[in-house]
Structures are given as C-alpha cells and as structure tokens.
Amino acid sequence: MNRVINNQDLFWVPKRFLIYELKSIKKVVGFADWDVGLHLLNNQQIQLMNKQYRSKDKPTDVLSFPFNEISQPGKLSMISNDQVAIKDLGDIFLSLEYAISSARATNVNNYDWIRVLLVHSICHLLGYDHIKDSDYLIVSSF
C-alpha cells in the first residue's frame, strides 16, 4: 500500500499521480508488494526535520527514513511482529515547495522532477547512498 499524506497547502499535486509513481518505482526495484509512506511538506516543515535528524538548519527537497534494517543496499531484513512479516520500506518526506522551486529553476517539468525525487528516495529506503562518488554510480545504474 502507498500512503500519501499532504501536510502542506502551497501546491497541489494529484494524489493519483503520486500513488502511481510510487507503485511503478517499487515494481521496478523489486518491492512491488511493500508499503511506503509519502508525506508532503513545505520548506519550513522539512527544515525542522532536517535540523532535528541531520543537524542541517536549512530546507531540503526530500528526507527518507527506512523502516527495516538494511544489511546491504537492496537487501532488507524484514521486521516481524508476532510471526507476521512487516513489508514496509519506510517513509519519505518531500517538500513540494522546494521540489517545485528546483524544477522551475532548472526548467524541468514539476511532475518529472517529483518523479526523480521519488526514485531517489526509494533508493535511500533500500539502503543506497551517495556519500562517495562510487556509491552514486551504483544508484544511477538503476
């Protein structure tokens, strides 16, 4: 299941578009039947989260919080609850304000840029990172 929670009122994006994109991305990376939560925020809201979780007092486009333990990128260890495996990738917090501003600044379609950010976020939920250039090359090969 894909959960989309809109916590901002600056920009409108069709929920149907977001759910479709999440579903498509999960299918491509092999986690089609896993859950993911998408929270839509504004810059002020994501700045608070960025400060709290990353000690960076500035807005950002997206933050990803994996639910499961990651043994290695792309390999998740499912958490189980009373013998039931929980197939939850985690939660994505996306600042629509930041994303749309970035799209406009680079002359990219808003929906295309949001799609890129969703792919980027799902990769993070799967344990892929881009701290080193070699890590970035692995993720960009998807």
Predicted confidence (pLDDT) per residue in 51-90, tens digit: 999 999 999 999 999 987 776 666 666 666 666 667 889 9
What's the pLDDT tens digit per position in 11-62?
A: 999 999 999 999 999 999 999 999 999 999 999 999 999 999 999 999 999 9
Residue 64 in contact with residue 121, Cβ under 8 Å?
Answer: yes
- Return the CATH number at 21: 3.40.390.30
Residue 85 backbone zone (phi > 0: left; psi -120 to 50: alpha; other: beta): beta
Lowest-pLDDT choice from 3-7, 85-89, 110-114, 116-120: 85-89
Structural domain containing residue 130: 2-140
Number of domains, the chain: 1
